[in-house]
Structure 1
Amino acid sequence: MRKLLMLEILILVFNSMFSQDLIVTNSGDSINCKITKVKKDNIYFTFKHKDDIRSTLLPVANIKTHQFDYFQTSEVPKDKVVGYENYQHFRIAINGGYSYQTAKVGESVPSDFKDYVRDLKSGYHFGGDLTYYFTEILGFGFKYHLFKSSNSLDNIYLEDTEGNRTYGKMRDDLTISFIGPTFSTRLLSYDKRNAFHMKLSLGYMGYSNDKVIIDKYKMTGGTMGSSFDVGYDIGLSENLSLGFQISLLTGTLIEYDWDDGIKKETIELEKGEYESLTRIDFSVGLRFNK
């Protein structure tokens, strides 16, 4: 219910962003218009006269009052307003979908656990990004994505140097986050309804794994990462689109903190043991444009 309410609020806000303004003159005339500029001496506006769209000005001394967003709908098309840029500046994207980590299973992994590690590579992600386009083609913004994966295995055992075995469960709950600024390019369709997007991001990748190897452990770490996105948005309405996207995220973990509940230590990995965080995301989601 809360998500539905938020969606309705967003749609209401977007629908009201091009509402029409009101000017009332000293002689009592009411003008339904779009005010484009307010200066000390004059107010500039665009209005509809019969079937014509006209742009003009009135001296402030001749105006009794003016009010923005007085009318809920506009008689003046956006592209007829003086100074109007025929593209949308803001894009909010909400994404979710399937993810796959591309690194090979290491040679050091015992053969009995290779399938377990392979299954852990598949998971899901969700997140979003906000972009401001300062031209029709180029934009800048921020993105945040979260990857989750888990797997478990019963009846494993650990054997000490004296041959004593301890039986129990193995489990991994893996979380990898990415946050960073993005540089974006887009190509709009002829009618500005659909768009092809490409984004490049450099940021921080956080790593966390709640492990169980009979006993509980915690692995945490972080590294610099990058993300490259390619996607296509299909317009559903003026301000709402359905988007499809494929992303490549890369990063390498060279050390991590290991916490067994009693002590915490930092483990530095050897060059051949670095942990690759590279994955591919296949996403679908909604895009809100303004």
Structure 2
Amino acid sequence: MIRSFAACLLVLGMLGHSASAQEASITEWRKDREEPIDQPQKPALREKEADQPDFARWSFGLNGGYAYRLFRAGRITSHDEQEYIKDLKSGIAFGGEVAYFPWKHVGFGVRYEMYKGKANLDSAQSEKVTIQHLSGALIHRSFLKNGKTAVLTSLLLGYQPYENKSTVGAQQFTFSGKTMNWGVSVGIEQPISPKLALNLTGTAMMGAIYRLQRKTAFSTETLHLSKDDSVDLSRFSVTLGIRFM
């Protein structure tokens, strides 16, 4: 009887050992196979990365270059006058732009540009012209086949102040006015680093002033101009710039 009881205990002990060994084996089996099941966080990370835009949303740029005014001059009677008008039409343009792209190909921006030009005629007559414009911009961006170089086309609409400081003999005048302006620009942008790009842009601006304020040392007068006598602010510029993204 005692032997039978001992034999039972031995059998139960062996069964218990076998069960615990089997359980340990099952635990290892589960562990080895649950790790790859728990690991699919890499695809999740990839999905997260895919949600992030592969283009810059915000950018800030500075630029400068050559500008040429498109107004039609009156009758020119001498070579000196011809050179004077040529100098008055030619000038420099410089400014900056902030842009935001909520979508890859369409964005919005604010652009500021200043034009400066001057001319002298035999030291008896001179003009120094400053034209500014502050515009809102609707921007379309398309990429070339390399996926990096972008072509930016902008439609501009905004505000344009004008100032002309003139001297005729001993008299000095300041003409000033303001008007709405609109324009278009087309540029190509080439990244040189993840946060920096170079761009070359051509811009055409349109606008005319029909009311001027003329100031002298003694008086201020408002001039109302006809269509034929209006001040044409139309111009074209080519600028080279740097953009931070």
1:276 and 2:232 aligned: yes
Q: 1:134: Cα distance to partner?
A: 0.8
SS at match of 1:261: coil
SS at match of 1:272: coil
Aligned equivalent of 1:144: 112
Larger RCO (alpha carbons 8 Å, 6+ apart): 2
1:178 and 2:167 aligned: no
Correspondences of 1:36-47 after superposition (within 5 Å)? none
The whole-number CA distance in structure 2 between the counterparts of 1:195 and 1:82 is: 21
1:228 and 2:217 aligned: no
Higher strand proportion: 1
RMSD: 2.1
Q: Contact (CA 8 Å) 2:156, 2:184: kept in 1 or not?
A: yes
The one of 212, 215, 218 aligned to 1:262: 218
Q: Contact (CA 8 Å) 2:81, 2:121: kept in 1 or not?
A: no
The whole-number CA distance in structure 1 between the counterparts of 2:212 and 2:178 is: 8
The one of 142, 147, 155 aligned to 1:200: 155
Equivalent pairs, count? 204
Q: TM-score, normalised by structure 2?
A: 0.77
**Structure 1 residue identity aligned to 2:52:** Y
Q: Are the structure 2 counterparts of residues 224 and 110 from structure 1 closer, same or farther at C-alpha, using a change threshold of 3 Å?
A: farther
Q: Contact (CA 8 Å) 1:105, 1:118: kept in 2 or not?
A: no
Q: 1:190: Cα distance to partner?
A: 4.6
Q: Are the structure 2 counterparts of residues 104 and 221 from structure 1 closer, same or farther at C-alpha, using a change threshold of 3 Å?
A: same
- Structure 1 unpaired stretches of 5+: 1-48, 57-76, 156-168
**Structure 2 residue identity aligned to 1:208:** E
- Residues 16-47 of structure 1 show CA distances to partners (whole Å, capped at 9, x for unaligned) of xxxxxxxxxxxxxxxxxxxxxxxxxxxxxxxx
The whole-number CA distance in structure 2 between the counterparts of 1:135 and 1:185 is: 10
**Structure 2 residue identity aligned to 1:153:** L
**Structure 2 residue identity aligned to 1:132:** Y
Q: 1:221: Cα distance to partner?
A: 0.4
Aligned equivalent of 1:153: 121
Q: Percent of aligned positions with the same letter in both sequences?
A: 26
The one of 221, 235, 238 aligned to 2:194: 238
The whole-number CA distance in structure 2 between the counterparts of 1:276 and 1:88 is: 37
The whole-number CA distance in structure 2 between the counterparts of 1:238 and 1:80 is: 20
After TM superposition, the runs of 4+ consecutive aligned structure 1 residues lying more than 4 A away are 109-112
Q: Contact (CA 8 Å) 1:255, 1:267: kept in 2 or not?
A: yes
SS at match of 2:56: coil
Q: 1:110: Cα distance to partner?
A: 5.6
The whole-number CA distance in structure 1 between the counterparts of 2:165 and 2:71 is: 20
The whole-number CA distance in structure 1 between the counterparts of 2:202 and 2:230 is: 25
The one of 247, 253, 263 aligned to 2:209: 253
**Structure 1 residue identity aligned to 2:151:** F
Q: Contact (CA 8 Å) 1:99, 1:125: kept in 2 or not?
A: yes
Aligned equivalent of 2:66: 98
SS at match of 2:84: helix
